[in-house]
Amino acid sequence: MTPGPALRCAGCGAEVAGEPYAFRCPNAGRDDADHVLVPVPAPLPADAPPLPDPREAQPFARWRAAFHSYAMARAGGMADAAYVALVHELDAAVAAVDGAGFRATPFAPSETLGRWLGFAAGEVWAKDETRHVAGSHKARHLFGLALALEVVERTGLTTRAASDARGLAIASCGNAALAAAVVARACGRPLRVFIPADANPRVVERLLALGAAVTVCEREPGRPGDPCVHAFHDAVAGGALPFCCQGNENGLAIEGGTTLALEMAEALHGRGVALDRLFVQVGGGALASACARGLEQAHAAGLLASLPRLHAVQTQGAWPLRRAYLALRDEVLGPGDSDEAVAVGHAAAVTQAVALDRECAERLCTRGEHARVAAALDGARRARSRYMRPWDTAPHSVAHGILDDETYDWFEVVRATVASGGWPVTVGEERLLLARDLAHTAGVRADATGAAGLAGLMELRAAGVIPGDERVAVLLTGIER
């Protein structure tokens, strides 16, 4: 039996093939590289479907030709029809637990958002994920992982008993934990969830009702980083399978999230229009990383004529991604332009900071800086701690779902941001609350976390960066509970 399709580490180049639990680079933890396993494109059988498959509406069946799990299934002897049947089997199980399965979520121009933000000739498109499985995009990531597990078990690389003996584990403060619990319950798999002491009581109640084993984690004095992630790492070291939304912990977590971006690309293609900018809220970074990869896949498939500028949005309570971006920017363009007091957007400096961001972003993505940027990025992927480190203090914000101490998928997000000519944006509490209320006015019951991308758009629009004739998009994901 051939090893099958491979995964390659973006940090060290190591390849993994034929392993049932090929989630994390075998060299992770041995050095300071940013180890993330990424699927290596593999030839598919002649009967593989087009991208997308017009016969299928379910996202994981419609876009299956883009998935590593599909390539693994076919290499392992599973017929196309059997893979599609597996997708629908799992989808039906999710629907039995959560009331509905996976489907393409709405993505269209919002007259309310466009009018309120003054886009006279342009458009503000919104992708509403609040009515998706478990109320956010997180379930997309985790359904993709469940699908990959089923494939390696059904093609004989491992057994269900071996997987269940290990169990699944996740660290999360809310939406990711709920999504993991829904998908795990649907698949009948044991799940351990590590949550902070201040987790939403409604979330905890639902986790317990879904049969998850919940562990509350307190911060330890003198130990930086998220205590839930520390406990999660301990569980994985003990054999648990990382059932999470962090690409560095499980590279295949990104794959399921690409369905969101592929749906957006298909909708734009259907109207024959291009997107100028995309705003994505960033905590751990998997959503932005998945959007970047999905849009690039769509571009390669001819669904997008060009890629939009990517703006990653964080709170002023914690912005580890922007801090990493500024360090990289200084390395390429020279120090002195990255004053952190400006970066967090103090009122008197917002316009000046945004103008600087725009100027630097344009320089970073120009041909003249290409060699220096490429060299800096190559160095950054091999020296993670120089750019990405845990936030210095316990983070606080009304957008609690993006308060990760680190942006775990930071490198891919920074790479895509720089390549597109975008830049990370930080927003304050007042802007986050206003964005949440505006989303409600537009008919989307997002929480402050789910509306953070919209807050980023509002920030740049108020600073005069975005003209009213652009076509921009935001993700509204994370229902208010």
Give CA–CA dist 145/157, Å, rounded: 15
Mean pLDDT, rounded, of the chain? 93
Question: What percent of the chain is helix, strand and coil (3-state, nearest 5)?
Answer: 45, 10, 40
Q: What is the pLDDT of residue 121?
A: 84
Q: What is the pLDDT of residue 339?
A: 46
**How is 26-68 classified by DSSP, letter by letter?**
TTTTSSSS---EEEPP----TTPPPSS-TT--SHHHHTGGG-H
- Strands across the sheet containing 241-242: 213-217, 191-196, 168-171, 241-242
Give CA–CA dist 389/312, Å, rounded: 17
Q: What is the pLDDT of residue 439?
A: 98
pLDDT, one tens digit per residue, over 204-252 is 999 999 999 999 999 888 788 889 999 999 999 999 999 999 999 999 9
Encoded tokens for 100: 């509905």
**How is 443-458 classified by DSSP, letter by letter?**
T--B-TTTTHHHHHHH
pTM: 0.94
How long a stretch of residues is the chain? 481
At 345, is the pLDDT very low, low, confident or very high (cuts 50, 70, 90)? very low
pLDDT, one tens digit per residue, over 348-373 is 566 777 888 988 998 888 756 778 89
Give CA–CA dist 133/94, Å, rounded: 8
How is residue 479 annotated by DSSP?
B
Q: What is the pLDDT of residue 245?
A: 93
At 154, is the pLDDT very low, low, confident or very high (cuts 50, 70, 90)? very high
Rg of the chain on CA atoms, in Å: 21
Q: Is the dihedral of CA 55, 61, 66, 70 positive or negative?
A: negative
Chain-centroid distance, C-alpha 178? 16
Encoded tokens for 345: 């957007």
* Most confident stretch, 194-208, 263-277, 331-345: 263-277
Bridge partners of 366? none
Q: 156: alpha, beta or left, given left = phi > 0 and alpha = psi -120 to 50?
A: left
pLDDT, one tens digit per residue, over 43-62 is 999 999 999 999 999 999 99
Domains of the chain from N-terminus onward? 107-135+256-476 (3.40.50.1100)
| Mean pLDDT to the nearest integer, 174-186 | 95
Give CA–CA dist 418/426, Å, rounded: 16
Chain-centroid distance, C-alpha 148? 18
Encoded tokens for 466: 């975005």
CA distances, 311 to each of 24, 148, 263, 419, 478 (Å) = 27, 30, 19, 11, 19
Q: What is the pLDDT of residue 367?
A: 57
Residue 342 in this model has a pLDDT that exceeds 50: no
